[in-house]
Chain A
């Protein structure tokens, strides 16, 4: 240490010995007392920590901490006691944590009740909606949009689940099936088997089904293809065009479009072109299955949520 001292408030204070600009000096004060003691305290704290928590490796294992255990129940219902670790802590939190227990009580009620019972119980519906909203946002919104209604750009890729038109059915049983096992929306492409003229005729017929003004002679020719062996559309969409839920085949007689971007077209030709392109190219859309990712309670809550979003049946 340097022996340079200077006077400050009457006391001798050590300096680093440099002087700039003649008399500008740098103090070499010792660290403040409080700082030193805090430092020593952290060392003492770590000694305690080493004893209580898993810390030191030795041989091919490590010290597990003294007198610091976590007890939880395994799936067989037996009590298991382990040394402190974050995984056991999580299990304990899921089994006895305040928030988890509150949620669990509701989930058990949801599990035991039928859909009708929950739908007519405002308290349970409030819980269902608040929890399902989050689950929907985490898992479903990326495809179906945050409130179940799609961003405009995603039109045709994913169906709107906030409306009352259902491909696969809007009863709670059907919605639960959809979410649990997923769905494959499939319509074959007719671009190879039907020429452009016939596609045009079909498109006119299909648009006519939902009350659009169309060229009647083309629509009449389209009807023959639709209802006959050549197109075989009736096989999936029904002779009246109202669709078939077991196939996920769309209802063509309502104003709701899920693939053909008819609403996005301004002029009649645009509408015909939109429908034509769907018939020509076919459709393959996949709704993933959720049974391996979500629990039965979560699926039940989602079913209720989606049922209420759109006009459930």
Chain B
């Protein structure tokens, strides 16, 4: 019998069609994704990037909960116009502790990858509560409840533990703590200690006074602390531009 490729037998068999489609798509995915885990150049070697402090992590969780990513990306592409508008393009290293990352490609609002330290805390509070009071033509929703809702701090230890399981170096044991001191410096290492997570969270909110009201700890404190950190960890003046190109 002459061999003829019977596409008809795939087309009329829904189960087989689904199975083979999945196979073909996953080959594409695997070929593109898997090598990134072992290619040396994937994550740039830069100083300064550390995991989020408990307060920043709490803010990040609220960012995800509120769906800010539906309008805001956190990924500055290496194009001249992006550079002029937002600053240095994002490095893979800068989101290495993000689970899940917030890169995105949908920009109803501006990219937020380098919004940290751009505005004052007061502006962020005002803008999140009522965007149109500072930017009249804004279409961003109001988030007034952030200032009114007390921040839940009781589950922060568990959150850090979960992140540790997927590879973020929060420290549980003394050894891990010492390793963090070496890697991130003592000040940062203290913040990454799981056992004092709740205490650290409260202390940072008190010291930073992000929502302008020290008397209570709200979700706004955490959100603003997170926003003010975005894109500020790497000091780009220390590097020659050509250096980052070596990682591509």
Q: Which of A's residues lie within 8 Å of B, judged by CB?
A: 1-2, 54, 57, 60-62, 72, 74-76, 80, 82, 85-91, 93-94, 97, 99-100, 138-139, 141-143, 151, 153-154, 157-158, 285-288, 292-293
Contact = CB atoms under 8 A, between A and B. Distances in A.
B39 interface: yes
Given A1-B6, A82-B245, A88-B245, A139 B39 contact: no
A293 B118 CA distance: 8
Contacts of B248: 54, 85-88
Given A74-B242, A90-B89, A100 B123 contact: no
B242 A91 contact: yes
- The list of the 9 closest CB pairs from A to B, nearest first, reads A57-B35, A85-B248, A153-B133, A87-B245, A286-B120, A74-B242, A90-B78, A88-B245, A151-B136
A62 B134 contact: no
Nearest to B248: A85
21 contacts: A1-B6, A2-B8, A57-B35, A60-B38, A60-B39, A61-B40, A62-B35, A82-B246, A87-B241, A138-B85, A142-B135, A143-B123, A153-B130, A153-B134, A157-B122, A286-B120, A286-B122, A288-B120, A292-B117, A293-B87, A293-B117
B146 to A, nearest CB: 18
A97 B80 contact: yes
A90 B122 contact: no
A72 B118 contact: no
Given A57-B39, A62-B35, A151-B136, A1 B8 contact: yes
A72 B246 CA distance: 13
A60 B242 CA distance: 21
B111 to A, nearest CB: 11
Contacts of A54: 248
Interface residues of B, number: 39
Nearest to A93: B80
Contacts of A142: 119, 123, 127, 134-135
Nearest to A64: B248
B134 A80 contact: no
Interface in B114-160: 114, 117-123, 126-127, 130, 132-136
Contact of B134 (A60, A61, A89, A157): A157
A14 to B, nearest CB: 11
B241 A1 contact: no
B242 A62 contact: no
Contacts of B119: 142-143, 288
B172 interface: no
Contacts of A93: 80
A60 B40 contact: yes
A76 B241 CA distance: 11
Contacts of A285: 120, 122
Nearest to A17: B8
Contacts of B242: 72, 74-75, 80, 82, 88, 91
Nearest to A87: B245
Nearest to B79: A90
Contacts of A2: 8
Interface in B143-202: none
Interface string B16-40: 0000000000000000000100111
A302 to B, nearest CB: 14
Contacts of B40: 60-61
A286 B132 CA distance: 20
B83 interface: yes
Contacts of B80: 90, 93-94, 97, 99-100
